[in-house]
Amino acid sequence: MVQSPTSKMISRLVDGQICAYALTPESWGLLSPLAVFRPSSEDRVVEHAVFADGKRAVYTTLNAAVCVTDTGDEVWRYAFEPQSDQVHGHRPGCVLSADEKVVWVYRPDAMAGRDRPDQWIALDASIGELLGQQDLETVGHSGQHLTHPSDGHVLLDVGEGQDGTVIYRALLTAGGISLDRYPWDDRCLIDLAPDGGRFLTVGHDQADAAIHAYPGGEVLLELPVEAFLPIEDVTDETPEFYLEWAGGFLTPDSVVVVLTGETEDDPEWSRSYRVDLRTGEIEARFDGHNEHPYDLQPLGDASWLTTDPAGHPIRWSQP
């Protein structure tokens, strides 16, 4: 997920290339890349992020974190040792700190077969030097990062498949990484409010969504899936419906949540709804113009992104 201030750089992987797009007050509709980064032909990009000036990008592969320029030069490469011969089940992730001085990297080392716990590391964004590292108590497949907009912390959601999910909060200090773990193994981190004061989770069992206070995690609002009854064609007779691990903060005071279900006549459907956080009211159905539940990225400023068939983002806003 991306928090969107007045101007923000986002990236998408299109045909093996990292495309950078500027989110400005003038950028609406189908967005054109401001810059295109071409990773090494030997690299398969897993996750990526672009610096705000559009001059550099960082990405992860199964065995490294890499920084490249918009002219195709490699700035640095940090290898994950030992090299893994596993090609499935582990996806290293990365994110830039709010000040763009640090690259945070989640290493799913256990699933990569490195015979060690998962690691969360911090690298100097300029030269790729290791600034700090922490072993995690997880055996994860992948991790989602969210950067706090003002306090220097980064949140990480580690997905362990059927075993659940673990959420961490970290800060890089002079002594290394200061790490906190939230007291759940059944909450999936979805999004952080634009001001960083709240965050959204969905239960691993997809039975509820919750708004939490940041940083403590206290539940401010809980939305069980039953709260959506009756809405349109969702009734007590609906065989199965649940909340997707999708959505996010549309504005500082509203979130979009996604309901998915199955019926005899329609094997699978999804509906998005806007929730007013000031009242807790589930408002009318939200039309995100997205074909799939996960192709909806709220930006926190009343706009959101979907994706065109070629892979480029489309930016929308409410009338």
DSSP per-residue string spanning 213-237: ETTT--EEEEEEGGGG-SBTTB-TT
Q: What mean pLDDT comes out for the span 30-39? A: 97
pLDDT score of 171 more than 90: yes
Residue boundaries of the structural domains of the chain: 38-185, 197-319
Tell me what the mean pLDDT of segment 157-186 comes to.
96
Say yes or no to pLDDT of 6 above 50: no
Q: Residue 269: its pLDDT value, please?
A: 83
Mean residue pLDDT of the chain comes to: 93
Q: Name the band, by pLDDT with cuts 50, 70 and 90, for residue 2.
A: very low
Output the six-digit token pair for 110.
């256990």
Q: What is the pLDDT of residue 134?
A: 97
Quote the pLDDT of residue 3: 35
pTM, entire model: 0.94
When pLDDT is averaged across residues 206-234 and rounded to a whole number, the result is 89
Please list, residue by residue across 44-81, b when 16 or more beta carbons sit within 10 angstroms of its beta carbon and e when fewer do.
ebbbbbbbeebebbbbbbbbbbbbbebeeeebbebebe
pLDDT band at residue 4 under the 50/70/90 scheme: very low
Query: What phi and psi, each to the nearest 5 degrees, are found at residue 157?
Result: -105, 115
Alpha carbon distance 215, 268 (integer Å): 36
Rounded Cα–Cα distance for residues 176 and 59 (Å): 22
Residue 5 has pLDDT above 70, yes or no: no
User: Which DSSP string corresponds to the chain?
Assistant: -----SSEEEEEEETTEEEEEEE-TT--EEPPPSEEE---TT----EEEE-TTSSEEEEE-SSEEEEEETTS-EEEEEE-SSPP---SS-B-EEEE-TTSSEEEEEE-TTTTT-SS--EEEEEETTT--EEEEEE-S---SEEEEEE-SSSS-EEEEEE-GGG-EEEEEEEEETTEEEEEE-S-SBEEEEEE-TTSSEEEEEETTSSEEEEEETTT--EEEEEEGGGG-SBTTB-TT-SEEEE-S--EEEETTEEEEEEEEE-SSSS-EEEEEEEETTTTEEEEEE----SSTTS-EE-SSSEEEEE-TTS-EEEEE--
pLDDT at 319 over 80: no
For residues 286, 306, 155 and 140, what is the CA-based torsion angle, rounded to 10 degrees? Answer: 110
**Residue range 222-256, pLDDT digits in tens:** 999 989 876 665 555 556 889 999 999 999 999 99
* pLDDT over threshold 50, residue 1: no
More confident: 232 or 32: 32
**Tens digit of each residue's pLDDT (9 = 90 or more) over 10-22:** 999 999 999 999 9
Residues 313/31, Cβ–Cβ less than 8 Å? yes
Pick from 249, 288, 283, 250: nearest CA to 270: 288
pLDDT surpassing 80 at residue 47: yes
Q: What percent of the chain has pLDDT over 90?
A: 87
Q: Was domain 38-185 assigned CATH 2.60.40.10? A: no
Give the Å distances, CA to CA, from 221 to 276, 285, 296.
11, 19, 22
Q: Contact at 8 Å (CB) between 114 and 90?
A: no
Contact (CB, 8 A) for 2 and 299: yes
pLDDT band at 210 (very low <50, low <70, confident <90, very high): very high
Residue 59 has pLDDT above 90, yes or no: yes
Which strands make up the sheet holding 154-159, listed edge to edge? 142-147, 154-159, 165-173, 176-181
Q: What is the reported pLDDT for 154? A: 98
The pLDDT value given to residue 268: 80
Query: Does the pLDDT of residue 259 top 50, yes or no?
Result: yes
Give the pLDDT score at 239.
Answer: 60
Average pLDDT over residues 281-291: 91
pLDDT of residue 51: 97
Q: What pLDDT, in 10s, does the model give residues 91-150?
A: 999 999 999 999 999 999 999 999 999 999 999 999 999 999 999 999 999 999 999 999
Mean pLDDT of 70-93: 95
Sorted by sequence, the CB contacts under 8 Å of residue 283 that are 6+ apart come out as: 273, 274, 275, 276
